[in-house]
Every structure is written in C-alpha cells, then in structure tokens.
Structure 1
Amino acid sequence: MTSEPVILGDTRAGVRTLTLNRPDRLNAANDALLLALTEELRAAEADPAVRVVVVTGAGRGFCAGQDLGDVSGRDMTFTEHLNHTYNPLIRTLRGLGKPVVTAVNGVAAGAGASLALSGDIRLWAQSASLIEVFSNIALVPDSGSTWFLPRLVGYHRAFELMALAERVNAEEALRLGLCERVYPDDTFREEVQAYAERLAARPAHALKLTKQALNAAMTGTLDEALDHEARLQQLAGDHWEHEEGVTAFKARRAPEFVREE
C-alpha cells in the first residue's frame, strides 16, 4: 500500500501549488516533508511553465512546526538538524527567482510561523493564526523568524511575541503587516488561486529582478541599493517584456507578458 506523498503538487494557469500533506499532524514538519518541499521548490524554479509558487497546508493547519517525535532520540545536534533541513528550505524559497505566496490556511507555529512569514506575498484565511511557540519549550526562534519578524513589526514587538509566545489572529496579523490579505475560510483557496494568477500574468523577468533588488536592499546600504538598481534596470530594459510594456502603453492596451516557450 502506497502512502500519501508529504507534498502535493498541482499546476494551473502558471501557478504551482505545493501543499504540505500531513493533515493529521497539522502538517508538523518531519525530514521527509522539509526535504521534499525544498526539492519541489527547486523543480518549480526550473520549470518554465511555472510563474508563481503557492505554499499551503492540507486540512485545518498550515504547519504546526517541528514534529518533535521525528527528532526525539536522534543522534544529531540542533545545529546539524537546522543545517540539513530548515535552513536549505528557507534559503531556497527566498532565493527563488519566482514569486512565492505563502497561503496560511490555519495555524502556523514555530518553524511553521517562519515558513508563513518567508513568502513574497502572505495570504491568510480568516481562521489562520501564528505563534512563535519556541519559548514554551525553552528554545530560540529559528528558520528565519529572528530575521523576518523584527523587520515586519520592529524589535520590541517581535521580542514580545517570541518571549510570551502570544498567538496572533488574522485580524491582528493584517494590522501588524504579517500578511497582505485575509480571506473568508470558505473561499480561501479560490481567492488564493485568483490572486496567484494575477501575479502570474505580470512580467516574470521583471519580478525576478525586483525580488533580487529587494533581498539585497534588506541588508545593504542606500548607495549599494542605488548601484544594484541601476544594474538590474539595464537587464530589465534589455528584455522583451519592457518593449511589450511600452508598446502596450502607447497602444492603450493591456500588456501581454506571458509567452509560449
């Protein structure tokens, strides 16, 4: 009897949806899930038919964080575990040359919160929530949370959320800037697909360069950002997308940024 895959994949209208598929565990992460998701992201990067990637969860949870039973008694240090699983995943996701939407359909806890925050766009269901649960078991937030969260809410609010392990609901997440949209539960997946298809219709090359520019600017100086923008703008200006955008503007029509390979 074949077991269910830990990641479900589906591609529609240029949108590759990757679904964490351990619903009986609220999609708590084990090695198999983390490594499979990383490989699926790399495959999406290489597939010209994929223009946007959506990461979401099966059932009523997004990702409940690390499956503690999967690492109990293992002969591996915390550092080795992170460097083998979570860190390559987050690096792959953030370095992907395509927009990544994290569609948070339920609870995102611990490393699941880090994954929820790592998307270029974060869309939440009304019943979704986020909790930096690490301090409840006397651990340090990892998988990028200490990088993502203070950049979104500031050092002091980030520390409070981490120290007290406070749960953030969808309304508060939207107010704090932890997500861009909140949708009703019963239409969430349809709304996510529609939003992702809007992204997929945008200029893919220009968005890839925009993502590169933003990632670099997050840790660089203003002078470095200006120089980087100038280099990337040349790459954008030399691409057919730019010519199409200008031509469409002059013709007063909508640009067509999707071409058959």
Structure 2
Amino acid sequence: MAYQHILYDVSEKIATITLNRPDRMNAWTPIMERDVRHAMETAAADDNVRVIVLTGAGRAFCAGADMDALKGLDPDDIRRAQSLPPFDMNRRPDWQSRYGYYPSIPKPVIGMLNGATAGIGLVHALYCDLRFAADNTVFTTAFSRRGLIAEHGISWMLPRIVGHANALDLLMSARRVSSDEALRIGLVNRLYPPDQLREQTYAYARDLADFVSPSALAVIKRQLYDVPFQTLAEATIDANREMVVALRGSDFREGVASFMEKRPPRFTGK
C-alpha cells in the first residue's frame, strides 16, 4: 500500500511508523487514520517485526486534529466509524474501537513523542504501551477548549495511566502539561534530551527485539490489558493456563539454554 500521510520502515526487527505532515505539525487527518491502521496491521502480521515505534516527523508528534478537517466534520462520522472491521477477531471486543486497537497488537508499541502531543495525538500516545518523550514536549488533552468531550476512549485510558484525579484535571482544564510534570504523574515512562530521544528509544526497542521472547511479550501484553475486566481469581487462572503453554514452548527452552550457555537467545516466538 502506498502511504500518503505516514512513512513506514522495518529495520533490525523494529517497525517505525512516522506521522508525516511536518508542515502541519502532523495534524491528524482521515488519510492518516487509514494509513496508521494499515501500517499497524502490517507490522502486527509481520514475523520479522518484534517491536513497533510510533513517532512524528519534524518538531511535533501530533498537534491534534487538522482544524480544516475538524471544521467540516459530520457528526455521523462518529457513528459510521463504529462499523470498522475488527482489527483482530482473536482479541476481546473492548479493543476493536476506531483508535483503541493498539492493545490487540501482540507486540510492544512504543510512542516516541518528539514534540507537541495534543488532542487526538495524545489519544494515540496513550494507546501505545510505552511513551518515551523529548524533555521539551508539551501535552494537552485540548478537547474541552474546543467544545468537545473526552473522546475515543481517553476517559477510560487516561485514568488508568495517571490516576482519576490527574485525569480529571487534564481533561477538564485542557491545560498545557510540561514534560517534567508528565513524567511525574506517569503520563510518560521516560524523558530524554531531544538529541538523544531517538537513540535511547531504539536502544530500548532493540533490547526487546533481541533479548525478550516474542511469545512471552504477546501474552504479558494481553494479560495486562485484560486485567481491568477480570477478578484476581480469573487473572490467576488465566496466568496458570498460559504458564502451562509457556513451559511447553520452544522459547522457554531457548531462554533457559541461552542463560545456561551464557549466549544471546535465539527466540522464535513459539
């Protein structure tokens, strides 16, 4: 597929999806929506990809929705979006919404936030599994200052990342949040100087790609996203069931063998 508003690249088992409208601070468009979803599906299905990095070109990650597109937005567009085909029929329906399909991807998704992250851009950052940001990044939910509500599942996702009180603050005020505050409240996992963000993010991604079992990562990710819908007993039963599968898998045997032989593992994801 020829992409119009993103770049897609695979190197060293890492797929990079780059929002590519730098002249508009990567403002979100329907074309970008289509491109990102297709690229995510492609990376999820590619056995040569172990980790996915989502970032932006230029000086922003994503400054929110393209205002030209937003001005002409048909309210029925929201209803039509609910009929999108499922991202992955093997995953729970909670992760089949318009943008909330990232948890269905059985691979780590790292948001490399290289600048302004606002509105729908923040929504996508929250759906990433991890968020590494430049230390000059500014965040805002933006919605309430545009007469909009907490959209696309952010009312569910944000409190689980930063807590209920912080989520209320960020959503109701839509104020600008510095990178230091974002780190303090858990909105991001790590901060780096802008000139080190890419190097440090890819070092982390390569470590996952080279030294961590893909099958273990897929199960761990599913477990953590399923937990909000489970009791402790259900989570434990699920873990016991998955442990039996893991103990029978080749990745477990390789993990033990590589440790005993003091060599890098050669995981296959089996």
Normalising by structure 1, what TM-score? 0.91
1:70-125 Cα shifts (integer Å, max 9, x gaps):
1433444252265378x745333121011100111111111111111111111111
Q: Does structure 2 conserve the Cα–Cα contact (< 8 Å) formed by 1:245 and 1:255?
A: no
| Counterpart residue number, 2:18 | 19
Indicate the percent of aligned positions where both proteins have the same amino acid.
36
Distance change >3 Å, CA 75–CA 121, structure 1 → 2:
closer
1:237-259 Cα shifts (integer Å, max 9, x gaps):
221110011222333x1441445
Q: Does structure 1 conserve the Cα–Cα contact (< 8 Å) formed by 2:134 and 2:193?
A: yes
Distance change >3 Å, CA 166–CA 82, structure 1 → 2:
farther
Distance change >3 Å, CA 84–CA 108, structure 1 → 2:
farther
Distance change >3 Å, CA 4–CA 37, structure 1 → 2:
closer
Distance change >3 Å, CA 237–CA 89, structure 1 → 2:
farther
Distance change >3 Å, CA 145–CA 74, structure 1 → 2:
closer
| Counterpart residue number, 2:215 | 205
What's the Cα RMSD here? 2.2
| Counterpart residue number, 1:245 | 255
| Counterpart residue number, 1:127 | 136
Distance change >3 Å, CA 84–CA 123, structure 1 → 2:
farther
Q: Give the alignment partner of residue 231 of structure 1, picking from 237, 241, 246.
A: 241
| Counterpart residue number, 1:112 | 121
Q: Does structure 1 conserve the Cα–Cα contact (< 8 Å) formed by 2:27 and 2:65?
A: yes
Q: Determine if the alignment matches structure 1 residue 32 to structure 2 residue 31.
A: yes
Q: Does structure 2 conserve the Cα–Cα contact (< 8 Å) formed by 1:244 and 1:255?
A: no
Alpha-carbon distance, 1:260 to partner: 11
Q: Aligned letter for 2:123? A: S
Q: Does structure 2 conserve the Cα–Cα contact (< 8 Å) formed by 1:209 and 1:236?
A: no
**Structure 1 portions without partners, runs of 5+:** none
| Counterpart residue number, 1:188 | 197
Moved more, 231-240 or 3-12: 3-12
Query: CA–CA distance in 2 between the matches of 1:49 and 1:119?
Result: 20
Alpha-carbon distance, 1:213 to partner: 0.7
1:24-63 Cα shifts (integer Å, max 9, x gaps):
1111111000111000000011111110000000011111
Q: Does structure 2 conserve the Cα–Cα contact (< 8 Å) formed by 1:42 and 1:92?
A: no
Q: Give the alignment partner of residue 170 of structure 1, picking from 175, 179, 200.
A: 179
Distance change >3 Å, CA 156–CA 143, structure 1 → 2:
same
Q: Aligned letter for 1:33? A: M
Normalising by structure 2, what TM-score? 0.88
Q: Does structure 2 conserve the Cα–Cα contact (< 8 Å) formed by 1:152 and 1:178?
A: yes
| Counterpart residue number, 1:148 | 157
Q: Aligned letter for 1:77? A: D
Query: CA–CA distance in 2 between the matches of 1:66 and 1:104?
Result: 16
Q: Does structure 2 conserve the Cα–Cα contact (< 8 Å) formed by 1:35 and 1:89?
A: no
1:156-189 Cα shifts (integer Å, max 9, x gaps):
2211111111212111111111111111101211
Distance change >3 Å, CA 254–CA 145, structure 1 → 2:
farther
Q: Does structure 2 conserve the Cα–Cα contact (< 8 Å) formed by 1:23 and 1:58?
A: yes
Alpha-carbon distance, 1:200 to partner: 0.8
